[in-house]
Structure 1
Amino acid sequence: MLQEEAEIVALNALTWLASEGLLDAFQGATGADRSQIAAAAGQPEFLGAVLDFVLMRDDWVQGVCDAQDLPYEGLLRARAALPGGDLPHWT
């Protein structure tokens, strides 16, 4: 997946979080307020953090992927295409 495609997936994931009432949980995990989220939404590093957050729960992965008509492994491919996605995962 190209970085540009991954950014779109991550932006759609952020939209999904907001639509599902999970933006407060994301804010709590990141410490970012809504204005900071809006300002950072175009930054690939921040979008990687969005996908890291979604990837914490299988039901969130399923919801995001279903909303975007992506296979469930699509979020992992998107995460790998963004900065920091090439780091080893220890889980």
Structure 2
Amino acid sequence: MLSSQEAAEAFAARILGWLAEDHARISAFLAWSGESPAHLRERLNDPAFLLAVIEFLMSDERQLLDACADLGVPPETPGQARAALPGGEQVHWT
């Protein structure tokens, strides 16, 4: 379970690495986020950017399941990481 911000940030960095392994995946992330390839390394210490990485992954179930399988983590791990980052808490509308 990823409950600390530090662990969540490290996991998000792993996701970014996974995205970067495939040209189509990283291109889709760059288009979605508006980031430039040159600034990716600079943003690795920015919790808001790392939250965006997780949210991008979670926006597509097939991508999420593929990443979890490749990274050897349960499918709930991205959601746990998201919740541990500032701004990523679950919203309850009731």
Please confirm whether the aligned pair reaches a TM-score higher than 0.5, indicating the same fold.
yes
Instruction: Give the corresponding residue for 2:28.
Output: 25
Gapped runs of 5+ residues in structure 1? Answer: none
When normalised by structure 1's length, the TM-score is: 0.89
State, as a whole percentage, how many aligned pairs show the same letter: 34
C-alpha distance after superposition, 1:2-55 (max 9, x if no partner): 111111110000001111221111111111101122210121111000000000
The separation in 1 between residues aligned to 2:92 and 2:20, in whole angstroms, is 27
Instruction: Give the corresponding residue for 2:14.
Output: 12
The separation in 1 between residues aligned to 2:15 and 2:92, in whole angstroms, is 21
| SS state at 1:85 partner | coil
Cα pair distance change 1:89/1:49, threshold 3 Å:
farther
| SS state at 2:80 partner | helix
- Pairing of 1:48-87 with structure 2 (within 5 A): 48-86=51-89
